[in-house]
Amino acid sequence: MLREQAFNSATIKSLAFLEKIAETIFGQAPTYQQALPSIDPAKTISHESCAILKKKVIGKEDVDIAAMIKKLGNSDWVREGRFYYDENETVCPFCQQNTTDAFALSLNRYFDEAFQEESRSIDDLYINYMDDSARLQRQIALVIAIPCKFLDVEKLKIEKELLDIRVIINLQRLTLKKKEPSQVVELQSISDVVLTIRALIDAANALNSEHNKMVENLGHERSNLTAQVWKYILEEELKIDLLDYDSKRNGLNKAIADVTLQIESATISQRVKVAEIRALEKSTTSIQPTIDEINELLISVGFECFSLAMAYNRTGYKLIRRDGSDAKETLSEGESSLVSLLYFFHLLKGSNTESGMTMDRVAVFDDPVSSLDRELLLIVSSLIKGLYEEVQSGFGNIKQLFIFTHNLFFYKEVTFNPDHLHFGNNDSTYWIVKKAGLESKIQKRSSNHL
């Protein structure tokens, strides 16, 4: 929780939002949603502004019968009767009287080619509007038929019903225009209805897109939601408790820091005093430095139940338990061997004289792990391997190192060293000593064969 408080950078959301998203992400495995097809109302809407709708389509006005037709305003009635006149072979279909050739010519001139062209435009407009509006209605019906949980289907159905009504009304008005071309008609616009329908489809597709992205990145979305839930808990439900906790923690941290400074100061003071004591011990030509170093080695390898102390004559050392009692008689053989080996290590790296003078030397370890258990064996192996670098570099006073053993496990441990493996032929050699009868034979190996 404290880690979340420190590193959570999510945006805080309402509980209702988190619950809704959780139903999708952690509920039944979400699936891809099909995108809804778009609709194309452009052609249908363009018919609403066709110029022929507002034009009074009538015959030619310079014909002798034009004045009468214009006065009576019955151009559509005459046009309708002309069909029967042509069928009746120049006999008036109304008065049943024969007409002259001049009248027939006037009638034909009145309804000239321009009139016929405009009449055909009205017919074409009717057909095109009927086809384009039907196509638009099918497109909307297809959208309704596609399952989509993000689409407001009921509202879309209402808008489609409104569209259907306007299309029917417009087709009726176009039928009237076909029958009576001289009438000026105006189509009801479907633009507002189509705009609403498009908005419903676009909104559903936008949610579809977000949903499908969530499905593609479900693991990431779950992580985001988890972080947002944590943010809500931290900011809304636990805010007061966390503020109280932070206040108390800051107080405790300040107290700890103060105590830590005091401990560090006391530790530094202690180290100074210990250094002064050791300097004084060295100035009195004691063996105390040797005792201190061996005790440090014992502690470093895990032996704290006994240690070395200066003997009463101040020229030697004794082994004591933690309570100060003599430990010499109670040490195991392995522990005694380890103490001797540690003292030997100190002699290798130190001096027997007060002046600290050291001589070049050859170190020989003859089966140093005799009587040691496996744990002590590993410790001895580690200590000996610590001398490899000093021998190889030539900076120390140990110039050559011999190790004898008949313990294969110790041999394996003391020869396994990643750095040692890179020594050249002049750095290390391997030998086998075999005893046959009263003689011992030494056989050199070109490499570590075990």
CA 127 vs CA 33, 117, 124, 138, 182: distances in Å: 37, 15, 5, 17, 19
> Do 118 and 15 share a structural domain?
yes
When divided into structural domains, the chain yields a total of 3
229 Cβ contact list (under 8 Å, min separation 6): 18, 22
Its pTM stands at 0.40
Biggest alpha carbon distance in the chain? 168
Q: CA–CA separation, 421 vs 412, rounded Å?
A: 12
Domain match, 62 and 142 both: yes
Is there a domain that residue 218 lies in? no
Least confident range from 110-114, 135-139, 173-177, 431-435: namely 110-114
- Asked, for residue 437, whether it belongs to a domain, the answer is yes
Q: Higher-confidence residue: 391 or 284? A: 391
Examine residue 121 and state whether it is found in any structural domain, yes or no.
yes
Task: Clarify whether residues 323 and 406 are in a common domain.
Answer: no
Q: What digits encode the pLDDT tens for the residues 328-338? A: 788 877 788 88
Do 95 and 48 have their domain in common?
yes
pLDDT in tens, 250-298: 889 999 999 999 999 999 998 888 787 767 655 545 577 778 888 888 8
Last residue of a domain, one of 300, 315, 330: 330
- What is the pLDDT at residue 65? 43
- Sign of the alpha-carbon torsion through 324, 325, 327, 330: negative
Residue 365 lies in a domain: yes
pLDDT of residue 190: 94
Domain stops at, among 188, 207, 226: 207
CB 410 within 8 A of CB 381: yes
Whether 271 is in a domain gets the answer no
Q: Give residue 67's pLDDT.
A: 46
Average pLDDT over residues 383-405: 84
Say yes or no: 402 and 325 in one domain. Answer: no
Domain check: are 346 and 373 in the same one?
yes
Task: For residues 25-54, give the mean pLDDT.
Answer: 83
Residues 303 and 403 grouped into a single domain: no
Alpha helices in 26-152 (DSSP H): 42-46, 66-72, 75-87, 101-110, 113-145
Residue at which a domain ends, from 207, 239, 272: 207
Lowest mean pLDDT among 64-68, 90-94, 114-118, 125-129: 64-68
| Same domain? 343 vs 322 | no
Q: Are residues 166 and 308 in the same domain?
A: no
How many Cβ atoms sit within 10 Å of the Cβ of residue 244?
A: 10
* R_g of the chain, CA atoms, integer Å: 55
Residue 213 falls within a domain, yes or no? no
pLDDT band at 225 (very low <50, low <70, confident <90, very high): confident
Domain that holds residue 302: 288-330
Note whether 188 and 51 are same-domain residues: yes
Residue 171, in any domain of the structure:
yes
CATH assignment of the domain containing 382: 3.40.50.300
